[in-house]
Structure 1
Amino acid sequence: MTTLQSTPTQDALPRRFADFATLGEALDYAAQGTRGLNFHDARGALTRAYPFSALRRDALAAAWRLVAAGIKPGDRIALVAETGTEFAALFFGAVYAGAWPVPLPLPTSFGGKESYIDQLRVQLSSCDPTMLIYPPELAVMAGAAAEAGGVQGVDWGELLATEPTPVALPTAKGDDIAYLQYSSGSTRFPHGVAITHHALLNNLAAHGHGMELIDSDRCISWLPWYHDMGLVGCFLSPIANQVSTDYLKTEDFARRPLAWLDLISRNQGTSISYSPTFGYDICSRRISSQTRASDRFDLSRWRLAGNGADMIRPDVMQGFVDAFADAGFKASAFLPSYGLAEATLAVSIMPPGEGIRVELVEETQLSGVAAGQDRPQRYRAIVNCGKPVRDMRVEIREEDGTPLPERAIGKVWCSGPSVMVGYFRDPDATAACMKDGWLDTGDMGYMSDGYIYIVGRAKDMIIVNGRNHWPQDIEWAVEQLPGFKQGDIAAFAITTPGGEETPAVLVQCRTSDDAERTRLREEIRDRVRAVTGMNCVIELIPPRTLPRTSSGKLSRAKARKLYLSGEIKPYAIAA
C-alpha cells in the first residue's frame, strides 16, 4: 500500500512575493515548483496531496468546461466554498475563464435548512450569477436556493465529470475584477466586495513581506474559504507566495479543535497558522488541566500564530500561553493583525516576534465622559494590531472627517492599492464608505508610534445619556461570571417605552430551574451595573439562540433585530 506524501515545504523554485500582474499568473508560476495544498480528515490524517501543478491542470480543465457551458468574461460564478480540491479548481477555473468567482458559505450549525437556503438566495440576488455550483451533498438546499433565485444550479461532481475540450482563454489584465467577496456580516443586506487582480496581488505581497516569509514556513489552516481570512489569507496567499499548506475542514476543527494543534506539531519546518480569538479559546478549554500539553504537542516551531477577524482579547491569548507553554509555544509567536474584506484583507500586521502588546486605556477616554466625575477609574486592555502593511496608509478621523492626532480615538480610515473598487452594483453603499480613495472601515481606534489599536465597531456602540459604551465591555463583564463563556452574551441598545435608550443584554442560559434563573438575572444585573454604572434589561434565552455571521462571529445587529421582532423568545420571569 502506497503511503500518501504531503507536498514539500521547500523546493528549488525561487520564492516570489506575489509580484504578478494577475492571479492566474501567480498560479502559473507556483505550478513550476513542487509545493501545494494538502487536505486532512477530522483526525488530521492526510487524504489528498494537491501540488500547485495539479491545481493548475485541473483549473484549466474547469475553465474549458465553464466556457463550454456558455460562461463569458465578467460573468459571476457562485461557488459553495467547501474546503477541498473541487472548489480550488473551480475557483481558479473561473479566474482563467475571465469570470468572477463568488465564494458562498456552507451551512453552519446556527439556524436550519430554510435559513441557509434564504441566505444563499439573498446573496445570489446580490451577485446575479450565471450559475451556482455546489458539492453533491448540498444538492437539495443549494438547488432550492438556485431555483428560488432563478439561477442555474450545477452539481460540481457532474460538471467536473464532463470531458474538457481545450479552447483559447481570455487574457486577464491587472485592473480586471478577480472575484467578489462577501464580508462575514453580509447576510440580510449583502455587499459583494469587488477586488481587482492588482488589488489582490498587492495585498498578498504585503502578506509575504509583513510576515517575513522564510523557506521553512508552512501554513496550517482550518479557516473557511468563504471568509476573507480563510480565502485570501490561507488559500490565495499561499499560492501567490508559494507556501505549502495543510487544511482541516472548519467543521472538523469545530468537533476536534486539538487536531489543529496536532497538525502544527507534526510539521518539521516552521508553522504559520491564523485563527480568530475564539479558536485559541476553544483549544485552551479543551486541554485537560490534568494533562500536560507537552505529552501530546510540540508547538516550539510555531513561528507565527496569527490572530485577527474579531476583537483580540489579551486574557484569552494569555490563557493559551498558560495552557501550551510547556508544549513549547512562545508568546512572542502571536501575530496580531487587522483587516477587512473591503481592503482585500490585511490593513496592519504586527512585526514578527513582537507578540501581543497591550495598552491600558482609561474608560473615560473610550466613552467620552469627562474625567474627574465621582466614579472609580476603570481601564480596558486594548491590543496593538501592528503597523500598516506595505503600501497601506491609515488615518484616524473625527466623525466629520477631520484627521485626529496621535492617541486620539476616532474612526479608522485606510487607503492603498488593495482597497476595493467598490461594492458590486451598489453605488450608494460604496459612496457611504469611500471618499477620495479612502475607505471608512467602520471601526474605531487610535494610532500610537506607528501602531494601530482597534477599540471596537462604531456601529455597535451603545450611547446612553450621551456616554459611549462598547458592547464588548458589557459582554466581557458577564463572561467573568461562573458558567458563562464568550459567545453566550450579546449586548446592544434598545429604546424603552418612555423613549429612553438603554442596554439590553441577552444571555444564553442552560438551567431550567426558575429560582436559579432569577438568581442569575440579579447576578448579571449587578455585575453589569458594577462595571458600567448602568441598569440594563437582562434577558435569559435558550442555548444556541444567538445568531452568528457566516464566519461564526456573534451578530449583535441581527440579535437586536430578532429580539425586537419577537423571534428570540426570552425565558419567562417567574412570578
Structure 2
Amino acid sequence: MGLMTAFLMPVHYGATVACLDAFEWVMSPHLLLELMDRQRCTHAWLPNFAFNHLVRTKLGNETYALDHVAALINCSEPCKQATFDLFAATFAGHGIRAEQLQVCYAMAETVFAVSQTPLGRRPHTLWIDAGAAAANRIEPVAEGAAGAMPLLSNGPPIDGIVVRIGGGEAIGEIQLRGDCVFAGYLKAPDVTAQAFDDGWYRTGDIGSVIEGEIYVIGRLKDIIIHHGRNYHAHDIESVAGTVPGVKPGRCVALGVWDEEVGSEEVELVAERDPAVAAEDKALRNALRQAIVRRFNLVISKVHLVEPGWLVKTTSGKISRKENLGKLLRDTHRAPAQPGKK
C-alpha cells in the first residue's frame, strides 16, 4: 500500500508526498491529521484499525481543517461501516464528511487495487441477515432488524480486473484474473499452483459481488466453522468491541476444536477497559447476549484479560494464530485438530 500510493504513484503523477514515520504515528496519532492540515494533503490510505486508533486517541482540544481532503481511503483489511460512522461523527467538527471516507480492495498480487469506491459518493452499505450469511446466502434486510449485519461496499472492480465468486454460492472465495494479476510467486511453483484455479487467482478472501460491487466479508483462514455454519471472526469481534467494558479494538474470536463435540467451539478473548467499571460476570453475559442477538451464536467461553494481553503483528493487527497459541498455553490445553486425538 505505502509503496504504490505514497511513492510510485506520486512519482508517476508528479504529486507531492508528505511523510510521517509509522512508529511516530502510533505514539502520536494526531500528527497525521496535523500534517494533512498543514500540508493541505488531499489523499491518504489507511487500514481500518488506523481510523479507530485516531478516534480512540483524540485529545479533545485539537483544531484541524480537513474539509479540503478529497479522500481518506480504507484498505488493507476488512473495512467496517461502524468505523466510518464513528470517525465521521468524531471529526465532523474538523471538516470531515461521510463522502470523504472511501474504500479500496487491494493486494500485492494485483500490484495494488482490485476495486475502488467512486470518489465523492458515500460508499454503499448493504444490510443482510447474519444467519443466512453463515449458510453462504445473501438475504437483504432492513437496518436494525434482528440479526442484521452490515456489509460495506469495496466498490466496482477497476478497469482490467475481472472478479468471480468461487464455490457456486452467493458468498465464497473472491477470485481474480486480469491485466495486472501476477503470474506467480518467485521460485515457488508449488505455492503458485495452489494459488490459481484454471487461471483465476484465489485471493483467500471471502465475499460477494452484488450489483457490480465487491463486498469483502473476511478471510478463509479467519472463518470459524461451528456446527456446520460459517462465522467470520472479524464480524464477531466488531460486535464484541461495542460492548461497554471491553477495550475497543482489543478482542479476538477464536475457533477451538472440541474433539467431543466434533466441531470448532467459538471462544472470545477480550481485554477489559480500565476506564469502565464492569463486573466480570456481567461483562461476560453482555458479550454473550450481544453476539447471540446479532448472529444467533452461543459463545463457548469468554476470557477477560488485562490490557496488553493480546498479541498484535508489527503492523498493528490482531494475530489470531499467536493469540490462539497463547490462550491454549495459558489454559493448559494442547492444540487439537479435526480427526486427531
| Among candidates 170, 187, 193, match of residue 431 of structure 1 | 193
* Contact 1:393–1:415 (8 Å) recurs in 2: yes
Distance 2:148 2:78 in 1: 16
| Among candidates 211, 220, 223, match of residue 449 of structure 1 | 211
What is the TM-score of this pair, normalised by structure 1? Answer: 0.52
Residue identity (%): 27
Deviations 1:381-421 (A, max 9, x none): 100101111211111121xxx5x6xxx22210111232222
Q: 1:429 to 1:542 in 2, by over 3 A?
A: farther
Distance 1:395 1:527 in 2: 33
2:69 is matched with: 302
Distance 1:330 1:528 in 2: 30
Distance 2:252 2:34 in 1: 33
1:272 is matched with: 43
| Among candidates 528, 545, 557, match of residue 321 of structure 2 | 557
Matched, 1:322 2:89: yes
Deviations 1:167-215 (A, max 9, x none): xxxxxxxxxxxxxxxxxxxxxxxxxxxxxxxxxxxxxxxxxxxxxxxxx
SS of 1:488's partner is: strand
Q: How many pairs are equivalent? A: 322
2:130 is matched with: 363
2:271 is matched with: 508
Deviations 1:260-317 (A, max 9, x none): 111111134x51111112222222233345x4x5xx1110110111111111111121
One-letter code of the match for 2:279?
A: E
Deviations 1:29-77 (A, max 9, x none): xxxxxxxxxxxxxxxxxxxxxxxxxxxxxxxxxxxxxxxxxxxxxxxxx
Please, which runs of 5 or more residues in structure 1 have no aligned partner? 1-228, 571-575
One-letter code of the match for 2:257?
A: T
One-letter code of the match for 1:507?
A: A
Distance apart, 1:567 and its partner CA: 5.9
| Among candidates 265, 272, 283, match of residue 54 of structure 2 | 283
Distance 1:348 1:364 in 2: 27
* Contact 2:267–2:299 (8 Å) recurs in 1: no
One-letter code of the match for 1:252?
A: E
2:2 is matched with: 230
What is the TM-score of this pair, normalised by structure 2? Answer: 0.86
Distance 1:342 1:569 in 2: 39
One-letter code of the match for 2:147?
A: R
Distance apart, 1:524 and its partner CA: 2.7
2:154 is matched with: 385
Distance apart, 1:568 and its partner CA: 7.9
Q: 1:347 to 1:568 in 2, by over 3 A?
A: farther
Distance 1:481 1:510 in 2: 10
Distance 2:311 2:247 in 1: 16
Distance apart, 1:497 and its partner CA: 4.6
1:468 is matched with: 230
Distance 1:558 1:415 in 2: 33
Distance apart, 1:471 and its partner CA: 1.4
One-letter code of the match for 1:508?
A: E
SS of 2:51's partner is: helix
1:527 is matched with: 290
* Larger Rg belongs to: 1
* Contact 1:363–1:377 (8 Å) recurs in 2: no
One-letter code of the match for 1:558?
A: E
Q: 1:347 to 1:528 in 2, by over 3 A?
A: same
1:261 is matched with: 33
1:537 is matched with: 301
Distance apart, 1:248 and its partner CA: 0.6
Matched, 1:251 2:20: no
Distance 1:320 1:395 in 2: 32
Q: 1:344 to 1:558 in 2, by over 3 A?
A: farther
One-letter code of the match for 1:363?
A: A
1:353 is matched with: 120
* Contact 2:247–2:271 (8 Å) recurs in 1: no
2:174 is matched with: 412
2:338 is matched with: none
Distance 1:312 1:485 in 2: 19
One-letter code of the match for 1:390?
A: D
Distance 2:305 2:191 in 1: 34
One-letter code of the match for 2:56?
A: R
Question: Where do 1:113-132 residues align within 5 Å?
Answer: none
* Contact 2:136–2:172 (8 Å) recurs in 1: no
* Contact 1:314–1:356 (8 Å) recurs in 2: no
Q: 1:541 to 1:286 in 2, by over 3 A?
A: closer
Question: Where do 1:193-208 residues align within 5 Å?
Answer: none
One-letter code of the match for 2:24?
A: D
